[in-house]
């Protein structure tokens, strides 16, 4: 009996299974450039140093649909995409966090913009306290932009 073919078939099946699992675990981040209008809009709101606000994007994929969100309760788990937190530190430097993906208990993901000097130089997976969440830094995108994650457990 030749076992070569069944072993090859099992190996190919295992490789396909691993690739599928990796694809499911890969977090898809949008291009931060489409959210530059959000930062520009927030900058135009003239927050006071030390002030924090929460906003909402009418369309999480469209940075031009920003609106103030004072009255809304915290969204249900899994429905946070489109929330924007903005604050100025005591020196007047702007920080803006944009939640672009909410996987519920599997975590929340998004983008963070920080004016120069607003956060100390950081490395991968360090925590930044705010705005809005305690964010894990995932990747420095340059120009003050970071990919971030809020890991729930």
6 within a domain of the structure (yes/no)? no
Give the count of domains, the chain: 1
Residues 131, 45: Cα–Cα separation, whole Å:
16
90 within a domain of the structure (yes/no)? yes
The pLDDT value recorded for residue 77 is: 64
144 phi and psi angles, rounded to 5 deg = 95, 0
Q: What is the DSSP code string of 75-105? A: PPTT--TTEEEEEE-TT--EEEEEEEEE-GG
- Estimate to the nearest angstrom the gap between the alpha carbon of 52 and the chain centroid: 18
Mean pLDDT of 52-66: 79
In what helix (H) or strand (E) does residue 114 lie, and over which residues does it extend?
Answer: strand 108-114
5 within a domain of the structure (yes/no)? no
20 within a domain of the structure (yes/no)? no
The pLDDT value recorded for residue 113 is: 95
Least confident range from 71-75, 137-141, 148-152: namely 71-75
45 within a domain of the structure (yes/no)? yes
Name the pLDDT band for 79 (thresholds 50, 70, 90): low
**Exposure on the CB side of residue 120, measured as CA atoms within 13 A:** 4
Mean pLDDT of 98-127: 80
Bigger pLDDT: 142 vs 9: 142
Query: Bridge partners of 145?
Result: 113, 142
pTM of the predicted structure, to 2 decimals: 0.74
For residue 86, what are the domain limits?
Answer: 29-150
Residue 93 pLDDT > 90: yes
In 3D space, the residue among 82, 97, 99, 100 whose CA is nearest the CA of residue 129 turns out to be 97
């Amino acid at each position: 009996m030749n076992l070569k073919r069944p072993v090859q078939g099992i190996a190919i099946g295992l490789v396909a299974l691993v690739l599928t699992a990796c694809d499911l675990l890969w977090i898809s981040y949008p291009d931060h450039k489409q959210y530059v209008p959000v930062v520009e809009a927030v900058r135009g709101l003239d927050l006071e140093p030390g002030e924090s606000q929460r906003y909402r994007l009418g369309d999480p994929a469209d940075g031009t649909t920003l609106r103030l969100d004072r009255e809304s309760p915290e969204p249900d788990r899994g429905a946070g995409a489109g929330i924007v937190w903005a604050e100025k530190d005591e020196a007047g430097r702007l920080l803006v966090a944009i939640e672009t993906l909410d996987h519920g208990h599997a975590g929340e993901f998004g983008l963070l913009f920080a004016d120069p000097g607003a956060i100390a130089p950081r490395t991968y997976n360090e925590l930044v306290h705010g705005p809005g969440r305690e964010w894990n830094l995932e990747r420095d995108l340059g120009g003050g932009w970071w990919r971030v994650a809020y890991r729930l457990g």
